[in-house]
Amino acid sequence: MSATNDLARRIVRPDVLEMPAYQVPDATGLVKLDAMENPYRLPESLRDELGRRLAALDLNRYPVPSYTALKAAIAATQQVPAGFDLLLGNGSDEIIAMLSQAVARPGACILAPMPGFVMYAASARLAGVEFVGVPLKSDFSLDLPAMSAAIARHKPALVWLAWPNNPTGNCFDEAVVAEILRIAPGLVVLDEAYQPFAQDSWLGRLPEHDNLAVMRTASKVGLAGLRLGWLAGAPGLVAQLDKVRPPYNVNVLTEAAACFALEHHAVLDAQADRLRGARRGLYDALARMPGVQPFPSRANFILFRVEDAAGTFAGLKGRGVLIKDVSRQHPLLAGCLRVTVGSLDENRAFLQALAATLGVSGDWTDF
Ligand SMILES: *Cc1c(COP(=O)(O)O)cnc(C)c1O
């Protein structure tokens, strides 16, 4: 429990007082495979060039809140269809918070399949909006009858679909997603945080669905520290959502660094390509390891099930490898841990530590 003094107890919302704080474990000295970060940095020459670009900025000036150059660079490099606008966030987490606030009419509801990304529920609750979680099927696919029933009953203003889903790693069936778009009375956001690893997108389908918006982030492709997310949608929707955005939410350093990264996006694309290759090797090794059941992934992480999730997590940490224990997040995740796809060396260190923890012999570094 976090500390609470008398003043806080008198003035802070009771539900906030009850809330646990967002926990980020200390990763000092550990192989860090818990947060879907890209293990690679920009090459040295590009880092130098970026440093010069940032040094030339007028930090004494506010950002220009239209962010025209950044939006144009995103639209051009990410194939945003003509006629659609962008909403920028300080990470897509902020976009999730802004949308939750924007739809917070009395009696409104936000819906998402579960297990899913934790921020959907957390942001809905902070905005004072009811959150409805609809369980996935045991193979982590969407339960269309359950989704249809929940949509008919709750008439959600907003449905979140992470595609691929976190923490399960799969992309939901496209026909089922299309059906949800058809029956949902409100907005449906396809959260494509892992698009570079899935290599598939709903962005091109924006013109086909009036109630579709697509969200992406720079975080999982190597720029988690930058904090930049964006949402593409119809101009008449984005203009209203944009009123909720703090006017200077994207700072000038982020804006300039993101423009720079987009100019050099081939470098990040190549890193994503390497990670997709590493994902295959990591998945195959996990599938061969006795006592481990990995689930197929289209993201830069792999969910896997073991007999004793908490013990395995602790054994890995004791051997210097930090992953994520998601086993208590949802009943469908019983026994499940989530590992980020790292560099080859990191993946080998993880596999060796896992084999040692589970008491499995053999060489797990030959890929
Ligand atoms: C990581 C993640 C995000 C959040 O990304 P930020 O842009 O870093 O805030 C959003 N959605 C999903 C599904 C994620 O896994």
Between the CA of 89 and the centroid of ligand 1 the distance, in Å, is: 11
**For 7-53, what is each residue's pLDDT tens digit?**
999 999 999 999 988 889 999 999 999 999 999 999 999 999 999 99
**For 332-347, what is each residue's pLDDT tens digit?**
999 999 999 999 999 9
pLDDT band for position 2 (cuts 50, 70, 90)? low
Between the CA of 7 and the centroid of ligand 1 the distance, in Å, is: 33
User: Residue 229: its pLDDT value, please?
Assistant: 98
Mean pLDDT for 238-265 is 96
Global pTM reads: 0.96
User: Residue 310: its pLDDT value, please?
Assistant: 98
Whether residue 366 has pLDDT greater than 80: no
- Ligand 1: residue of 119, 160, 195, 228 to mutate (most ligand atoms within 8 A of CB) is 119
177 close to 125: Cβ distance less than 8 angstroms: no
Between the CA of 121 and the centroid of ligand 1 the distance, in Å, is: 13
Atom 12, ligand 1: residue with shortest CA distance: 193
Atom 15, ligand 1: residue with shortest CA distance: 166
Give the CA dihedral 105, 106, 112, 114, nearest 10 degrees.
150
Q: What is the 3-state secondary structure (H, E, C) of the chain?
A: CCCCCHHHHHHCCHHHHHCCCCCCCCCCCCEECCCCCCCCCCCHHHHHHHHHHHHCCCCCCCCCCCCHHHHHHHHHHCCCCCCCEEEEECCHHHHHHHHHHHCCCCCCEEEEEECCCHHHHHHHHHCCCEEEEEECCCCCCCCHHHHHHHHHHHCCCEEEEECCCCCCCCCCCHHHHHHHHHHCCCEEEEECCCHHHHCCCCHHHHHHCCCEEEEEECHHHCCCCCCCEEEEECHHHHHHHCCCCCCCCCCHHHHHHHHHHHHCHHHHHHHHHHHHHHHHHHHHHHHHCCCCEECCCCCCEEEEECCCHHHHHHHHHHCCEECEECCCCCHHHCCEEEEECCCHHHHHHHHHHHHHHHCCCCCCCCC
User: Residue 225: its pLDDT value, please?
Assistant: 95
Mean pLDDT for 175-185 is 98
